[in-house]
């Protein structure tokens, strides 16, 4: 009955919320304890590696989400515009329509960069690959598709930051709305 995995997974949402909003250095064990409802010692029962272990767990969950999103997009019947629209919907939802920052970007700051940059790089490349795959499937040249997918992630990351800095989530929503046509055009 006692399954380890589901238990660990159930702490992913609060951990994600913390790390994406406060960054690695800004998240303390006290905050984690409060957010999860677990004592500090209990946290080390589930995550023997401490904060690093927690980040790894969340990143693994995000990686799974990325894969699901990629598969989901390609499973949609329709042209690239439709498929990218579908992917965009999932992305907007994941970022609470521009109200919550990206954890991958948050991890690029401070001491966490040295530890997690390679993994973040791999995840972003996989993300770009998923977008490029949709474009290539609609007949676009592969090199161009890769360039466009990089532009897409630049737009997403930039829009998230600007939405936060300007205190206006609409900046992100507008960017996401234009993105599919921008990529196909």
Q: Which residues bind its own copies (CB under 8 A)?
A: 21-26, 101, 104-106, 108-111, 113, 117, 120-121, 124-125, 150, 153-159, 161-162, 164-167, 171, 175
Structure tokens given for 63: 């990686």
Q: Which of its own copies, DNA, none does 138 bind, CB closer than 5 to 8 A by kind? A: none
Contact 58, 16 (CB under 8 A): yes
Nearest distance in Å: CB 79, its own copies: 25
Residue 7 or 170: which CB sits closer to DNA? 7
Residue span binding DNA (CB under 7 A) among the ranges 42-50, 79-87, 90-98, 169-177? 42-50
Nearest distance in Å: CB 119, its own copies: 10
In angstroms, the CA 146 to CA 109 distance is: 26
Residue 52 or 168: which CB sits closer to DNA? 52
Q: Which of DNA, its own copies, none does 80 bind, CB closer than 5 to 8 A by kind? A: none
Residue 48 or 184: which CB sits closer to its own copies? 184
Q: Is 51 in the site for DNA (CB under 7 A)?
A: yes
Residue 34: name the closest of 24, 43, 46 by CA.
Answer: 43
Residues 52-81 that bind DNA (CB under 7 A): 52
Which of 9, 16, 44, 153 touches DNA by CB under 7 A? Answer: 44
Nearest distance in Å: CB 36, DNA: 8
What is the residue whose two structure tokens read 């948050």?
106
What lies within 8 Å, CB to CB, of 75 at 6+ separation is: none
For DNA, the binding residues (CB under 7 A) are: 1-5, 7, 27-31, 37-46, 48, 50-52
């Amino acid at each position: 009955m006692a399954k380890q995995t589901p238990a660990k997974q159930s702490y992913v949402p609060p951990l994600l919320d913390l790390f994406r909003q406060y960054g690695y250095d800004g998240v303390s064990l006290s905050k984690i304890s409060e957010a999860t409802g677990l004592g500090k010692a209990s946290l080390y029962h589930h995550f023997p590696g401490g904060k690093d272990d927690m980040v790894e767990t969340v990143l693994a969950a995000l990686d799974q989400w990325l894969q699901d999103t990629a598969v989901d997009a390609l499973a949609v019947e329709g042209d690239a515009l439709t498929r990218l629209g579908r992917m965009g919907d999932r992305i907007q939802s994941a970022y609470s329509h521009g109200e919550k920052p990206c954890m991958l970007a948050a991890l690029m700051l401070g001491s966490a960069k040295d530890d997690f940059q390679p993994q973040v790089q791999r995840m972003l490349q996989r993300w770009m690959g998923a977008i490029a795959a949709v474009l290539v499937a609609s007949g676009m040249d592969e090199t161009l598709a890769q360039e466009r997918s990089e532009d897409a992630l630049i737009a997403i990351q930039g829009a998230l930051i600007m939405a936060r800095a300007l205190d206006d989530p609409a900046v992100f929503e507008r960017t996401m709305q234009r993105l599919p046509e921008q990529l196909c055009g």
